[in-house]
C-alpha cells in the first residue's frame, strides 16, 4: 500500500470520527438546521444549474414543459373518468318470502277472553 493511499484512508477515518463526535455533541435541533441549510444550498445550486441549462437550450426546456403538461392533463383526465364510472361489483338477489301469519300476543288474547 502506498503512502498516499494510507494517508487518504487515514484522512477519511479522521473525518468520519470528527463527524460522529459532532453528531453526538451538537443538539438535535442544530443538526436539523444544518440539514435544512444543506437542502437550501442544494436547491439554490440546482436552480442555478437549471437556469443555465434553460438559457443554453430553450427548445429542450419548452419541449420538457409541454411534455410534463400533457402528462399532467392525461393523469387528471383519467382520474376524472374513473370517478365518473359506475362501481363494478357482484350482487346476489335474495327473494322475499312471505312472513308467517302473526299470532295474537298474550295481552291481546287475555283481553279477548275476559
> Tens digit of pLDDT for each residue in 33-74?
778 888 889 989 999 998 898 889 889 889 999 999 999 999
For residue 18, CA distances in Å to 7, 10, 11, 15, 30 come to 16, 12, 10, 5, 16
Task: Report pLDDT for 76.
Answer: 94
Per the CB < 8 A criterion, the answer to whether 112 and 103 are in contact is no
Grid coordinates given for 36 = 435544512
Q: Cell numbers at residue 107, please?
A: 295481552
Q: Rg of the chain over CA atoms, in angstroms? A: 38
First-last CA distance in the chain:
117
The alpha carbon of residue 103 and the mean position of all alpha carbons in its chain are separated, in whole angstroms, by: 62
pLDDT in tens, 66-108: 999 999 999 999 998 888 777 677 778 888 888 888 776 666 6
- Per-residue model confidence as pLDDT tens digits over 12-34: 787 777 777 766 776 677 667 77
Q: What is the pLDDT of residue 66?
A: 93
Amino acid at each position: 500500500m502506498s503512502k498516499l493511499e494510507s494517508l487518504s484512508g487515514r484522512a477519511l477515518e479522521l473525518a468520519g470520527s470528527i463527524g460522529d463526535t459532532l453528531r453526538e455533541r451538537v443538539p438535535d435541533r442544530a443538526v436539523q438546521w444544518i440539514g435544512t441549510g444543506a437542502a437550501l444550498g442544494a436547491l439554490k445550486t440546482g436552480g442555478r444549474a437549471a437556469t443555465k441549462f434553460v438559457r443554453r437550450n430553450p427548445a429542450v426546456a419548452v419541449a420538457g414543459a409541454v411534455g410534463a403538461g400533457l402528462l399532467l392533463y392525461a393523469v387528471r383526465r383519467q382520474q376524472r373518468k374513473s370517478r365518473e364510472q359506475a362501481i363494478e361489483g357482484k350482487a346476489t338477489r335474495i327473494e322475499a318470502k312471505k312472513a308467517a301469519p302473526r299470532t295474537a300476543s298474550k295481552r291481546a288474547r287475555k283481553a279477548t277472553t275476559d
